[in-house]
Amino acid sequence: MKVIALVSSGFDSISLLNYYINKSYAIYPLYVKSGFKWENDEINHLKDILSYIENRYKNIAPLKITTISNDFSEEFNKRDFIEDEDVEIPFRNLDLLISALKYAYSMDVKNIAIGIMGLVAFKDNTEYFIKAINNLFSMYGDYRVETPFLGMSKKDVFDKYFIKELFEKAFCCMNPINGKECGVCSKCKEKELIKGA
């Protein structure tokens, strides 16, 4: 089986990769760029993470980076992302999944995976949304969006699927300063919580 895995450099993405490694899938990692200020740092960390994985698991394709434009990213980048309500990126999962569908089409892959848990009630972060997307995508062929972590807690996903050796390489900050995590944004706080758990 083959799967397009939507990934960044955070815990959920590493867990998602490991989920499909455990299933012996051929994995096609995809990173979607759309002009946000954390992307270059994420990509650097993601490359580091993938080279660790590639040394141990051969059935993984080179990282694909695709770019889609966002008319609001410049405004959005001005936020400091301290409050949870500042973190929602409009149309994010929709954008990611449409990019993944196009990549799936080009690689002749039918499965698309995204590591959402649905913990925050963003419009495109729910089971209802995923069902609607699957209905839509089925109009284009045999495509299927998989969300193996939907409904799970962060801690459960971390405990069950995270590759612990990659803790220091994981990077999830929306406001990086010179390539380092800021320590105060919503994502950095999440990392602290996982660390303490």
Q: What are the residues binding Zn ion (CB under 5 A)?
A: 173, 175, 181-182, 185, 188
Element (H, E) at 41: helix 39-54
Provide, rounded to whole angstroms, the least separation between the CB of residue 16 and Zn ion.
21
What six digits make up the tokens of 86? 């500042």
Q: How far is the CB of 170 from Zn ion (least distance, A)?
A: 12
**And the tokens for 188?**
């950095």
- Nearer of residues 136 and 182 to Zn ion, judged by Cβ: 182
How near is the Cβ of 70 to Zn ion at its closest, in Å?
Answer: 20
d(CA 82, CA 165): 28
The smaller minimum CB distance to Zn ion, of residues 94 and 184, is found at: 184
The least distance separating Zn ion from the CB of residue 100, rounded to whole angstroms, comes to 26
- Residue whose CB is less far from Zn ion, 4 or 173: 173
Q: What is the DSSP string of 85-151?
A: GG-PPTTHHHHHHHHHHHHHHHHT--EEE------S--TTSSHHHHHHHHHHHHTTSS-EEE-TTTT
Q: What CA–CA distances, in Å, run from 20 to 41, 45, 113, 144, 190? A: 25, 20, 9, 15, 24
Residue closer to Zn ion, measured from CB, 15 or 175: 175
What whole-number distance in Å separates Cα of residue 101 and Cα of residue 94? 10
Nearer to Zn ion by Cβ, of 14 and 101: the residue is: 14
